[in-house]
Structures are given as C-alpha cells and as structure tokens.
Structure 1
C-alpha cells in the first residue's frame, strides 16, 4: 500500500501539503481532485520518485512496477506499433538479453531468456500493442506509420498507449482524456475498469472519474482528505458538509433565485419552453454544484444579447474543408435563436472544420451560409492561441477588442474599466501586463472567455472549451451557459457539460452533418456499433487484398473450375502446415518440460538452442498458415 504519514510537501517556498496522512490500498482506483495549483501534479512527482517529501514519511512497496504517461512529445521515426511495444519495458529488457545471449552463444542463457519471454507475453505482444492503438482511435492503415507523421494530439495518444502497454502495479494518469474524443474516451474507460493494479488519476472530467474511480482524494487548503466513492459520491458528501456554512448557503440561494426567475419568466412561452427546461435541469443540479462553485477561481455570466436574429444562420448545400480537401458535403442546416446544439463525431470527421467555417475563420468550399441580421459570434477555438497573440498581454487584447467593437457596442473602452473587467476573471495586479504566451492553459482559457463575454454575442461557438479548466471552473461555465439567452453550438468530450447544456445534437461523420436522434447514452451505443462496422470493413478489405486477382471468366462453370484448380494446392499446403504445426507444438511442450526440470549444464544449453529453433519455425509457419487460410477463404467466398 501507499502510505503518507504527517507529510509535508513544498513547491519552492509554497507549502502545498502540510502534515497530511492518508493510505491508498492495493487495487484501489483513486481520483485526485483539487483546484489548479493545489499540488496534484507535485504529489504525482513524489509518488513517481522525481520529488521528495519535505517532512514526514512517504512509503510504497519497492517491488511495485510503475506505469505513467510521458509528458514529452515523442520525436521518432519508429512505427506506431514499435513505439507502443517499447512501453513494455520488461519485454524490451528480455529481447536485449536474448540478443546478448545469442551473440555469446550461451545456450543455457538462451533457454532461460526464452522461458522468461514466454512468461512476459512475447507471443501476443504485437496484437496487444495494436489493440491499444486501435482502441485510442487510430486506423488499421496507421499501425506501421512513423510516429513523426502524426500531429501532436495523436502522438500524445501514442504516449498514452505506450503507458498502458507497460506491465504495472501502479498506474499514474495525469489528464489522460485531454486529447481524446468520445469514442476513444469510452474505450479507455472500459480498459481502465479491467486494470488489475492500483491507479491514481488526475482529471477534470467528472463522468470519466465516476466511471473509473472508487476512491477520491481531495486537496484543499494544504490538506488531503480521503472520501470513499467516485467523484459524484465525493461531491455529495462535501456538499453536505459545506451547506452548513452560511456563506455557501447564501451563494446557493442567490443562484437558485436567478435560475428560477428565468424559468418563471419564460416557461409559459412556447418559443422559450426548451430554454426554460434547460434551466430546470441546472436548478435540479444546483444543490450539489453550489459548494463546488464556492471554490471556483471565478464565476461569471454572459450578458444579455443586444438582439436575437431568427434564424441565426442558414446553411444550404454547403461543402466544408481546406483548400482542395473536401471533408463535409451537402450540408443544409438551420440554426435558430435559443437552440443549444451539441456537435458529436470522432476526431478528424470535421467538427472543428464546421465550427471554423461558421466562425468565418475559413471559407465554405461550396454552397451558401446566410447569417441573420445582427449576428454576433463569440468563438472559443480548440487551440486558444488560434485567437490569442502570444506576445500581447490580456490588457492589450482587451484594448484592441474594445477598439474593434467601437463605441456602438455599449461597453466602455477606458483602460481602468477594462482592468476592472479582467479582474472579474482573476486577472489582477501585474497579470494584466503579462505576455499571454507565458500563461498556463487555464489562464489562456479564462482570457478567451473574458473576451467572449465582453462582445455580448448572441451565438456562442465553443470548440473544446474545457480542456484546461478545472472541475469548479467547468461547473461555472456550465451554469453561465445555462443562463445565456442566445444560441450555443458546443463541441466537447466533456459529457457532463454536454448533458447539462445541450437540448439536441448534430452528428458529424462520413462526410455529412445530420441530426442525431437520441441522447449521449444512445451516442455511446452508436459508437460501439460504428466500431464494429469499421472492424468488419477492415477485415473485408484485408481479405480482398490478400486474395489473388481473379482472372475474368465468362461462365459460372468455368469460374468454379478455376477456383477448384486454385484451391487444390492451397489446401494441400495448408494440411501439411497444420501437421507440421502439431509436431512443433508437441516438441515445444516437451522441451519446456525439460527446462522446468533439473538438467546438466551441457544438456540445458542444447535444449535452449533447440527451443529457439522450434520457436522460430513455429513463428514462420503460423504466419504462412494465416496467409493460406485467408487465400482459401477469399476464393471460396468468390465462388
């Protein structure tokens, strides 16, 4: 078990943990939560050995093997499969040991290493690595592609796969979901549920934490508190504690009154009924969320839009893409005032392309996009630096924005007013003059939100807005969106945010944009069905590729005769291969039994060499058997 006893942990002069004691038992799945900067990553550093305690005691079993995701961007020409396979450190050590033994001609050592390789899973190592890669969203055709050929986000997925490949007793995961879309996220949850070791995960995705953890450690005010249960259980227990405090209770009542006022105002209007229902959902969740909001770095709200054109946007027979590359075609959709639309689809299907085109960042390749009169778009880009200038300060961003909007915006552009406004988003003191390029991801996200609020948009385009936000700030964003009276188009892998905000969904996939009739649970079922379909397509393509090209024959009778001619030698070879495989398997079993016993040194070396030869022939023959079986199946199917 992992034991912290009277532990003190500092970062520079700042005390992060002060005299804390907690125990993590073997096999527990732990969610580590707390505000940004509270010390979560520093605690990870203590556990993985890169940092040491400043006081008290820390201990964990010395024999435990550690698995964790490397934070550096991999730069290598290795294939994706070989790179992930390298995560199995035990296997790599044994392969190197075998090479050394073979070079020295030490038969006894060769025998021992072969036995160890078998125990380490050498036979199915490549399929295991490739199943991890495919599960995280890669295509079969990319398994042998060099790592350097992928973009940054996909390379970080390979780092995650490499960490999962590592045989471990303790797995440390720091924000593992940041580069994943929903289908890869669902796959990862299923994999982690099957993981047998102890796991500690830092995540700001509440639904992910609910699915994969059964213990929660909360860092707050230099203390570390253990709660039994997942994140929702922790939230409920903590809410019960905090509702006893008058300040929290007052803030909760304030928020409830605000939401109730909107509901009472619009619930009788048919045109506003859907929006009112969204606020009812928010109100139902408020009792638990209010204590979390009390700890948020800031809370905010979007100002009432100056106008609400209806429709906001009409898309007619449009095509979207980049340059000559068309990603989406034949798109005809309308965006109405007050709609709250979640945009679903796997990575690379065109979600961001759709949003960027609506945001006027890139042009449509064909068709028309007709904007409603007075449309005012607030855009949160997936990469914050798409809309921020790294060398400029938050104040310079706001001054420029105020000038662009002009006096007609109804907002004061005086520097002091801009400073005061930035202060409400926690940009205080010298921070308003700090270069944006030196800021954290969370600080950049807050600045983009501040700029959006200032513009008083009536259409919000949000492309993965939560990637760098902690749990409390995500809840603050969720509540602000529910109070927003305009229209929302949201791309996110944060299912809690999608559930809380969106009333309907669009599905982006297979080159089309279509309404998705269902909720997020239905979408997860759709993802499983789609994954099954893609596996069947890949299998069919592989079979077709391995089959010999059929010669054109005019008559079915001639085709059957030709097939019989082709099948005869293939079946004969397959039969011979199966007989030889049976002999080799028996030889291998006998040799392994001998190695398990007590043998003279000279005989042990001879057995080791023979076992290597048998394994080599088995490997070659099994590959040939697979090819023959595929060829025969393809010919029989075509008859």
Structure 2
C-alpha cells in the first residue's frame, strides 16, 4: 500500500502539503482533484522521489515499478514503435543483459538473458506496443515513423503509450486526456479499467474520472481528504461535509458569543467573578473551528451578438483540406449543409478524419479546396484554436493582445477598461504584461476566452477548448455556452461539455460530413461496432493470406496487425470486360512470374517453423534446470544463433512478399 504520514511539502515559500496523511490500498484507482496550482503535480513528484518532503514519511513498496507520462517533448529520430518499447523497463533490462552477455561471450549469461526476455514477453512486445499506438489514434503507416516527424500533441501521445507499456504496479497519469480525441479517450478508458495495478490520475474530465476511479483524493488548502467514490460521489459527499462543517462553525460561534457575553457582563462583579473566570478558561480551551472558505468561482458570459444572420453559413459541395508544396490534399469533400442561428452542433469523428480541418476552413484560417461557403450578412466568427498559440503571440502580454484586438473591434476602448476586463478572467496586476509564452496552459485558454468574449461573435467555433481548463472553468464555459444567443460548433473530447451544450451532432468520417442520428452513448456504441468490424476484417484478411500460402505461422506471430485498430482490406476494383477475356492467360503469366519467389517463401516458411521448434525445445530444456554448465553455455550460444537466423529469414520473407505484391500491382 501507499502511506503518507504527516507530510509537509514546500515549493519555494508556498506550502503545498501541511501535515497531510492518507493511505491508498493496492489496486485502487484514485482520482486526484483540486484547483489549478493546488499542488497535484508536486504530489506526483513526491511519490516519484523527484521532490523530498520537509517533514513526514512516504512509504511505497520498494519492489513496485512506477509508470508515469514524461512531460518533455522527445527529440529523436527513433521509430515510434521502438520509442514506446523503451517504456517497458523489464524488457529493456533483459535486452541489455543479453547484449552484455554476448559482448562477454558468456553462454550461461546468454541463457539467463533469454529467460529474462521470455519473462518480459519479448516475443509479442512489438505488436503490444503497436496496439497501444493504434488505440491512441496512430495510423498503420505511422507506427514506425520517426518520433521527431510528429507534432507536439502526437509526441505527448507517444509518451502516454510509452507509460502504458511499462509493467508498473503504480501508474501516475497527469492529464492523460489532454491531447486525445473522443475515440482515443474511449479506448484509454477501457484500457485503464482493465489495468490491475494501483492508479492515481489527475484529470479535469468529469466523465473520465467517473468511469475509471473508485476513490477520490481531494487536495485542498494543503490538506489531503480521501473520499470513497468517483468524482460525482465526491462532489455530493464534499457538499454535505462542507454543509456540516459550516453548521458546526455556526453553532460554535453562537457558543463563543454566549460565553463572551457572560464574561463581559460579570467579570467586574465580585459575586460572579469566579464563574466569569471559569468561562474565560473554557473559551481558551475550546478548539476553534475554521469557517468554510470555498475557492472563488470563475464565471463569465458571452456578450449579446450585434446581429444573428439566418442562415449563418451555407456549404455548397465544399471540399476541405490543406496544401503542401503546392499539392492539394483533400480530407473532406462534398459538404452540403446549412448552419442556422442558435444551433448547437457537436462535431464527432475519429482522429485524422478532418474535424479540425473543417473548423479551420469555416474560421477562414485556410481556404476551401472546392465548392462554395456562403456567409450570412453580418457574420462574426469567434475561433478557439486547439493549439492556443495559433491565435496568440508568445512574446506579448495579455494586455497587448487586448489593445490590438480593441483597435479592430472597438477603437474607443481605454486601457483601464481593458485591464478591468482582463481582471474578470483572473489576469490582475503585473500578469497583464507577462509574456504569453510563459503562461500556463489554463491561463492561455482563459486569455483566448477573454478575446472571444470581447469580439461579440455570433458564431463560436470551439476546437478542443477544455484541454487546459480545470473543472470549475469547464463548468463556467458550459454555462456561458448554454446562455450564448448565437450558434456554437464544438469539437471536444469532453463528453460532459458535449452533453450539456450540443443538441445535434455531425459525424466526420470516410471523407464526408453527415448528420449523426443519436447521442453520445449511441456514438460510443457505434465506435465499438466499428472496432469489431475492423477486427473481423483483419481476421478475414489474415485467413485469406494464410490460405494463399503467403504467410507462415512464425511470421504471423512475429508481426501481427494490431486488431484494435486494423482497417478493412481494400476491395479490388472489378476488371473491365476486355480484361476478363484474358484473365486466365494473365493469371497464368503472373503465376509463372511469381512461382520462383513463392517457392523461396515456402522454403523460408519451413525454415522458420523448424527454427521456432528448436528454440522452444532449447527453452524447455533450460527451464527444467537439469542442464550442465556446458550445456547451458551451448544452449545460450545456439539461442543467439537462432535469434539471428529468424531475423534474417523473416526479413527475406518480407522482401519476397513485397516483390510478389509489386508484380501483382504492375500487372
């Protein structure tokens, strides 16, 4: 179990924990909540020995491995799969042991290293890593792309996959959903529900916490309070506790006032002096209760739009995409829809399907690749970008942003008026001149919200607005959007926000935008059905390959496609009539061309099976523990040789398979 006893922790002059204690049992899934800046990440640093407490004890079982998402952006050209594999510390240790043994030509150590590799699951580690990547939204062709070819958000997904790859008894996840879309979030939710270790997760996603956690740890006023239940249960219990605490404080204040009144009245009267003195002592001995001081709520509202054109937007056969080196890449095409005044539209779809591309096109951040978008007269767009820095300047402060915006929207605005306005969004004092690049993610998000409110838009385009917002600010955003009189188009992985704000959904999938007839629960069921269909298609494709003699059992085991994210095999286009007349001759010609290649592939299959059988026999021999030292040395050397032969044979099989595919494609 994890035990914190009377912990005091300071960060600079700030007391993060003050005589805090808590006990967490093995296997518990814990949600760590508290306002931004309360010290949740500092508590994680304490649990991982990056910080030392000023007082008290932290007790975590020494043998426990700890998995944690690194917050740095990796800069390496290592393939994504290999980067994720490095998260498995047991596997890496076994690999290093084998490398050291081979360098020392120590057969006994080689045999021990191979046993460690078996224990670490080395032979299915790669497909496990790729399944994690595919579940988090990576495409099949991306799983071996260099890490530094991905953007920042995708690199954080790589760090998350790397943490999940670790065989950890304790998993610490700090805002794991920030860079995920709804599809990947649902997958992660299911993965964490199956995780059997101890989990502590920091998140501002209410539904995610409710689905995963059974215990809530509240960090408030430098104290830790444990609640048995998920986040919704915690809110109810905390409200009851605060009500009881406030009632107790009120009663005590009445008692204190009564005692003080008696003391003030009779302290100078000789006959009552003794009673008055006893009440003074009672007052001194009384343990004073503190009043309930709840954190100040954050509230804001969008200003009433100047006008509400209807329709606001009309799409006529619109194509959306982006341009690279003069070449157009169309992601979504054929959009024929209207956006009306007052609509609340949630935009759903898997990562990479084009949700943000559609929103950016509407926001005039990039041009439409085809068709026509007709804007209503007086349309004013407010755009919240997924990456806040797309609309912010890192070297300028919040006040400079507002001054520049005011010149465009309301030139008569005075600086003091702008300062007062920023104060409503918690930018006070010198913060108004602090460089945006040094602000936290939540502060940047609040600045973007402030700029949106000042613009008085009638169409709000919100692309993942909650990524860096705490629960209080998310609640304030939900209320503000519901009270907004204009139109909202929302892309978000926050299901609570989607449920509270949107009354209809668009689905971006397979290159088109279509209405989704259902709610978020229906969408999650649809995602599950899609996953099942993909898995079935992958299984059918594997059976077809095996039937055609194109894959041996060992190769299939070495490089299976991750079922969780497999895509259906493409269906060949029907041949033209004149081609069908010659199909028999064409097939014979192809068979003649590929026969030598397929013959060599069959020979490699047989060799792979033979090597696999030999490896299994050697491993069984070593596992019995009856081998002599000389036999262990020889077995270790032979296992190394088998490993090298398998890699070489599998590589050759893949090369031959690619040649066969190329011949078929050219035919």
- Classify the TM-score, shorter chain: 0.7 to 0.9
- For residues 449-493 of structure 1, give each alpha carbon's deviation from its aligned partner in whole angstroms, at most 9, with x where no partner exists: 112112222211111111110011101111111111211111111
Q: How does 1:63-142 map to 2 (within 5 A)?
A: 63-142=63-142
Query: How far has the Cα of 1:305 moved from its partner?
Result: 2.2
Query: Does the 8 A contact of 2:317 with 2:336 survive in 1?
Result: yes
Measure, in 2, the Cα distance between the counterparts of 1:190 and 1:461. 30
Measure, in 1, the Cα distance between the counterparts of 2:585 and 2:368. 53
Question: In the comparison of the two structures, how many residue pairs are matched?
Answer: 587
Measure, in 2, the Cα distance between the counterparts of 1:14 and 1:358. 45
Mark the CA change 1:245 to 1:554 in structure 2 (over 3 Å): closer, same or farther: same
Specify the alignment match of 1:259 in structure 2. Answer: none
Specify the alignment match of 1:368 in structure 2. Answer: 372
Q: Secondary structure at the match of 1:316?
A: strand
TM-score, length basis structure 1 = 0.83
Mark the CA change 1:576 to 1:320 in structure 2 (over 3 Å): closer, same or farther: closer
Q: Secondary structure at the match of 2:334?
A: strand
Q: Secondary structure at the match of 1:138?
A: coil
Query: Does the 8 A contact of 1:377 with 1:458 survive in 2?
Result: yes
Measure, in 1, the Cα distance between the counterparts of 2:611 and 2:164. 36
Identify unmatched segments of 5+ residues in structure 2. Answer: 248-292, 552-571
Q: Which shifted more, 198-207 or 427-436?
A: 427-436
Specify the alignment match of 1:401 in structure 2. Answer: 405
Measure, in 1, the Cα distance between the counterparts of 2:619 and 2:313. 73
Query: How far has the Cα of 1:190 moved from its partner?
Result: 1.2
2:203 corresponds to 1:199: no
Measure, in 2, the Cα distance between the counterparts of 1:364 and 1:112. 61
2:37 corresponds to 1:37: yes
Q: Which shifted more, 561-570 or 512-521?
A: 561-570
Q: How does 1:152-551 map to 2 (within 5 A)?
A: 152-242=152-242, 295=295, 297-323=297-323, 324-406=328-410, 413-533=413-533
Measure, in 2, the Cα distance between the counterparts of 1:590 and 1:325. 53
Query: Does the 8 A contact of 2:183 with 2:351 survive in 1?
Result: no
Mark the CA change 1:242 to 1:378 in structure 2 (over 3 Å): closer, same or farther: farther
Q: Secondary structure at the match of 1:185?
A: helix
Query: How far has the Cα of 1:360 moved from its partner?
Result: 2.2
Measure, in 2, the Cα distance between the counterparts of 1:528 and 1:501. 24
- For residues 597-618 of structure 1, give each alpha carbon's deviation from its aligned partner in whole angstroms, at most 9, with x where no partner exists: 2443223322333344455556
Query: How far has the Cα of 1:180 moved from its partner?
Result: 0.9
2:606 corresponds to 1:602: no
Measure, in 1, the Cα distance between the counterparts of 2:613 and 2:51. 50
Q: How does 1:137-152 map to 2 (within 5 A)?
A: 137-152=137-152
Measure, in 2, the Cα distance between the counterparts of 1:40 and 1:377. 36
Query: How far has the Cα of 1:568 moved from its partner?
Result: 11
Specify the alignment match of 2:49 in structure 1. Answer: 49
Query: Does the 8 A contact of 1:567 with 1:632 survive in 2?
Result: no
Measure, in 2, the Cα distance between the counterparts of 1:322 and 1:579. 48
Measure, in 2, the Cα distance between the counterparts of 1:421 and 1:591. 71
Measure, in 2, the Cα distance between the counterparts of 1:498 and 1:399. 33
Query: How far has the Cα of 1:630 moved from its partner?
Result: 11
Q: Which shifted more, 43-52 or 203-212?
A: 203-212
Mark the CA change 1:626 to 1:358 in structure 2 (over 3 Å): closer, same or farther: closer
Query: Does the 8 A contact of 1:171 with 1:197 survive in 2?
Result: yes
Measure, in 2, the Cα distance between the counterparts of 1:509 and 1:362. 20
Mark the CA change 1:46 to 1:556 in structure 2 (over 3 Å): closer, same or farther: same
Measure, in 1, the Cα distance between the counterparts of 2:391 and 2:625. 69
Specify the alignment match of 1:62 in structure 2. Answer: 62
Measure, in 1, the Cα distance between the counterparts of 2:193 and 2:528. 17
Query: Does the 8 A contact of 2:621 with 2:627 survive in 1?
Result: no
Query: How far has the Cα of 1:633 moved from its partner?
Result: 13
Query: Does the 8 A contact of 2:618 with 2:635 survive in 1?
Result: no
Measure, in 2, the Cα distance between the counterparts of 1:546 and 1:133. 29
Specify the alignment match of 1:589 in structure 2. Answer: 617
Measure, in 1, the Cα distance between the counterparts of 2:369 and 2:609. 57
- For residues 54-85 of structure 1, give each alpha carbon's deviation from its aligned partner in whole angstroms, at most 9, with x where no partner exists: 11111111111111111111111111111111
Query: How far has the Cα of 1:127 moved from its partner?
Result: 1.0
TM-score, length basis structure 2 = 0.80
Specify the alignment match of 2:18 in structure 1. Answer: 18
Query: Does the 8 A contact of 1:546 with 1:627 survive in 2?
Result: no
Measure, in 1, the Cα distance between the counterparts of 2:611 and 2:353. 50
Mark the CA change 1:572 to 1:453 in structure 2 (over 3 Å): closer, same or farther: closer
Q: Which shifted more, 90-99 or 24-33?
A: 90-99
Measure, in 2, the Cα distance between the counterparts of 1:127 and 1:358. 39
Measure, in 2, the Cα distance between the counterparts of 1:300 and 1:512. 36
Q: Secondary structure at the match of 2:299?
A: coil
Q: Secondary structure at the match of 1:118?
A: helix
2:12 corresponds to 1:4: no
Measure, in 1, the Cα distance between the counterparts of 2:615 and 2:173. 44
Q: Secondary structure at the match of 2:72?
A: coil
Query: How far has the Cα of 1:541 moved from its partner?
Result: 8.5
- For residues 339-359 of structure 1, give each alpha carbon's deviation from its aligned partner in whole angstroms, at most 9, with x where no partner exists: 000111222222222222222
Query: Does the 8 A contact of 2:604 with 2:649 survive in 1?
Result: no
Mark the CA change 1:100 to 1:375 in structure 2 (over 3 Å): closer, same or farther: same
Query: How far has the Cα of 1:372 moved from its partner?
Result: 1.7
- For residues 281-305 of structure 1, give each alpha carbon's deviation from its aligned partner in whole angstroms, at most 9, with x where no partner exists: xxxxxxxxxxxx9646511112222
Query: How far has the Cα of 1:533 moved from its partner?
Result: 4.9
